[in-house]
Structure 1
Amino acid sequence: MAGLGGLGRRRRRRTLNAEVNIINLVDVVLVLLIIFMVTAPMMQGGIEVRLPKAATTPIANRDALTVSITRDGRVAVEDQVLSMADFRQMIPGIVQRKAPKAIYIRADVDSRGGDIVTVLGLVRKTGISSVGIVAEPDGR
């Protein structure tokens, strides 16, 4: 019977594991989600405006619309850059859609006074009575 010792054992065939390891997939998706959550706020740059310095107080109204004027006369509503002609046509619809309580104008220190007056006039025509001009706090 010594020769029959190997007969009782059967050789199991190895099968190929064709399943997707879902834990690794979830790990990769979560890492990508974290990366996008960290980088998304950095991608919202808007336009660069150098504000004039003045004795100011912090802005407290969160329900406000921000209009920026660049030194070359372009106008940006939130982060949408427009020409002055496009701004003239679009501002009534933007105000109606967003319904802000106030509008703040951020004018570049080197922007033309005529552009600021034009934007002020167009904003006042929309019916918003609370209009402010944003400035950098003076170091005094």
Structure 2
Amino acid sequence: MADINMIPLIDVSLVLLIIFMVLTPYLVTSQIKINLPKTVSGLPADSDPVKVQISAQRTFYVNSKAVLADDLGGALRSALQGRADPVVLIEADAAVPFEYVVKAMDQAKAQGAQKMGVAVMADKK
């Protein structure tokens, strides 16, 4: 009697498993539809906001002073203290993942910012 060779079946199964493992993250993220706003014309800020800048190296700056990510809340608290209209403007490099922008927004909200904005570059036509 001839035995069935299982090696080719195992090889094909492992290759399929690897393909599915590699493609799954792309399939999941491509199903999320988000329409991001375009900026054709924006209104300039009417007050003097506290600026939170995030560089491409993921370094935070509050009013042009470098701040560690863990100290961002304290720096925002002291910068917003005593302001009648606490406004925060976030300027993030295009290469910065959005999670850093969200972290800055969360910290600003926790420290009492009433208004927040994200600076964008106007589309020049």
TM-score normalized with structure 1 length: 0.55
The one-letter amino acid of 1:76's match is: Y
* Residue 87 (structure 1) aligns with: 72
Cα distance per residue 1:21-45 (max 9 Å; x no partner): xxxxxxxxxxxxxxxxxxxxxxxxx
Write the distance in 1 (CA, Å) between the matches of 2:79 and 2:39.
Answer: 29
> What SS is found at the alignment partner of 1:136?
coil
- Post-superposition offset of 1:54: 3.1
Calculate percent identity across the aligned residue pairs: 18
Displacement after TM superposition at 1:132 (Å): 0.3
Q: Deviations over 1:57-108 (max 9, x none)?
A: 1413232111111112111111101121121332212211555531110010
Aligned match of 1:101: 86
Structure 1 counterpart of 2:80, one-letter code: V
- With over 3 angstroms needed to count, the CA separation of the structure-2 counterparts of 1:138 and 1:62, relative to structure 1, is same
TM-score, normalised via structure 2 length = 0.61
Structure 2 gap segments, 5+ residues each = 1-37
Aligned residues: 88
Question: How large is the Cα RMSD of the aligned pairs?
Answer: 2.0
SS at match of 2:89: strand
- Structure 1 residue 55 corresponds to structure 2 residue 50: no
Is the Cα contact below 8 Å between 2:39 and 2:123 reproduced in 1? yes
User: Could you tell me how far apart the structure 2 residues matched to 1:66 and 1:99 are?
Assistant: 16
Larger radius of gyration: 1
Partner of 2:18: none
Indicate which of 92, 97, 101 corresponds to 1:112.
Answer: 97
1 or 2 for the larger relative contact order (CA 8 Å, sep ≥6)?
A: 1
The runs of 5 or more residues in structure 1 that have no matched partner are 1-52
Report the alpha carbon displacement of residue 138 of structure 1 after superposing the two structures with TM: 0.7
